[in-house]
Amino acid sequence: MFLTTLFGLWPTKILSALSWPISNLSSTSIARYIGGAAGFFALKFVCKCVYRITWHPLVKYPGPFLASVTDLYAAYHGFLGDIHLDIWQCHEKYGPFVRYGPNRLLVNSSNGLHDIYGHGQNFQKSKAYLPMVPEEGGWCTLTCIDKSMHRYKRRLITQGLSDDALKAFEPSLLAHIDIFCHKLGEGGLRRNGQWTEPRNMNDYDKWLTLDVMGEFGFGERMGLLESSKHRFIIDVMHFYSWVMGFYEQFPGIAKLRLEYVLLFGRRLLRLNTAAQDQWEDWKDRFAASVLQEDQSQQKGLFSTVLKLRNNFSLSELWAEGSFLMLAGSDTSATTLSGLFFYLAHNPDVHQTLEKEIRSSFAESDAIISGPQLSSCVYLHACINETLRMSPSTPGAPWREAQAGGAVVDGNSVPAGCDVGTCIYALHHREEYFPQSYAFVPERWLSGALVSSEQLKAAHKAFNPFSLGPRGCPGRSLALLQISLTLARVLFDFDFRLAEGELAHVGEGTPGVINGRHRVSEFQLSAHVTASSKGPQLQFRARNIEGFKR
């Protein structure tokens, strides 16, 4: 069933349609037909290439030659997961405007960012998002191109993300963070200051954020931190993000579904039968909650949407739920892992932040949302700097210029062309962020080191949650979860890098030429969202009199 869904029925249909003439043709005739067809398509491709490199409206913009001819160039880097690094290198070589596809333009400026994604601009979501629709009619806030449809869906979703909703959910969020802290500290004895075994923070952070989103979104306790039962979801989500990231760069190949055979076969095999069955069971239980007549039994964010389920198809609801799990958990987990990486690799920053947290609160249970947490300015600066250095959506969200075209940072863009700003590249432009590959939280604090003009320019170019009508509706939840988690861990524990080779997990490799040479940079693989490895850390519970958790 799963493979049928992936591949569809097109091979059977094609063979059925071709079976009757093949039997009546000689081998010579068949060869002529094939040769003629091949020649026709080759000529068509050559003509298209000539047009793209000579008369296309984007021909005036520099960029890799292969990218001007075919989307395969971007798809290749999307497949490798280094598209954000390649785009950064292209901007370093060609400047702020780069042609990154036959019909695609990248703009690396803060003015361009706001011209493309801001309110009232003449852009819509690119058709590159169409392959992400799981089945006919399965639109969600990520994939719907129609602006009116998006406004309606977003309005419903944001009802469940209001300040009151987050405040009501906070006790559950804190309960998950307590479990997270308990699991990190297992095996370490407070009495003699024993360090724990190394913890792969990539795993722990994903377990935490999925537990949080499972309860917040669906009212279901998934228990990934305590059990491996639902951890298959991580593999499914990563596979989905990888495939859809490839589609986004080369939408045409989605119609063929050949990538499962040619490109993703090995990864597909990892989603074994057991995981597929578990995923189908998850979908069945989701459908059951949709059909639940007793609305008092519906919990979580989707209880708000499900009350209006007559306005949504089951496909739309499932698409929205899948997107919620991916965007709400994967992005926060990547940011948390990045924070732990940068703090462990920058002892002075770690010490300063640790001092701020431990001097601001008397006990761990006092770390809740409110004025005291908001006053921890260095904490928020560290979070911003991590989101700048290693954004959880590091690529370029494509937008299509609508009828009449548009002007982006002083340059005209014809209707029908895709335009985007690569978040990673913009966050590492020296004009806005001096020493852009150094982890410097102080750049977010106005004072002796940073002028108000520099801070204003940095904020204008800072875009970890997107902006405008398509900005992330879950921004407040993500920042609340990240700040509470980090603050409680810093209050409860000392932590350090693991010893030996494990200390280098997540680092760049000196000498490589693909942009991954910086040891002090937390390495990301860019797909729909980013994935990462590590860091590997050891924890030691604080040994102080009157210590409370």
Is the Cα dihedral 413, 414, 419, 425 positive or negative? negative
Measured CA to CA in angstroms, residue 263 lies from 57, 73, 80 at distances of 32, 15, 11
> Which two tokens mark 461?
């170019």
Please state, in angstroms and rounded to a whole number, the distance separating the CA atoms of residues 209 and 54.
49
Q: Is the dihedral of CA 140, 425, 127, 276 positive or negative?
A: negative
- Catalogue the E-assigned strands of 15-64: none
| Number of other CB atoms surrounding residue 514 within 10 Å | 13
| Cβ contact 190:494 at 8 Å | no
Q: What is the 3-state secondary structure (H, E, C) of 333-354?
A: HHHHHHHHHHHHHCHHHHHHHH
Beta strands in 410-492 (DSSP E): 411-413, 418-420
The answer to whether 472 is a known ligand-binding residue is yes
**Residue 101, SS3?**
strand
CA dist 420 → 99, 115, 498, 504, 521 (Å): 10, 10, 39, 33, 24
Distance, in Å, from the CA atom of 64 to the CA atom of 74, rounded to the nearest integer, reads: 10
CA 217 to chain centre: 18
Alpha carbon distance 217, 224 (integer Å): 15
Count the Cβ atoms, other than its own, within 10 Å of residue 221: 14
Of 185, 97, 176, 120, the C-alpha closest to 420 is 97
Sign of the CA dihedral 511, 514, 516, 518? positive
In whole angstroms, give the CA distance from residue 257 to residue 265.
Answer: 12
Which positions ≥6 away from 412 have C-beta within 8 Å? 405, 406
What is the three-state SS of 114-156?
Answer: HHHHCCCCCEEECHHHHHHCCCCCCCCCCCCCCHHHHHHHHHH
**φ, ψ dihedrals at 258, nearest 5°:** -75, -15
Q: Which of 386, 502, 506 is nearest to 443 (CA)?
A: 386
Edge-to-edge strands of the sheet including 97-101?
97-101, 104-107, 418-420, 399-401, 123-125
Residue ranges at the known binding site: 472
Binding site as annotated, residues for heme: 472
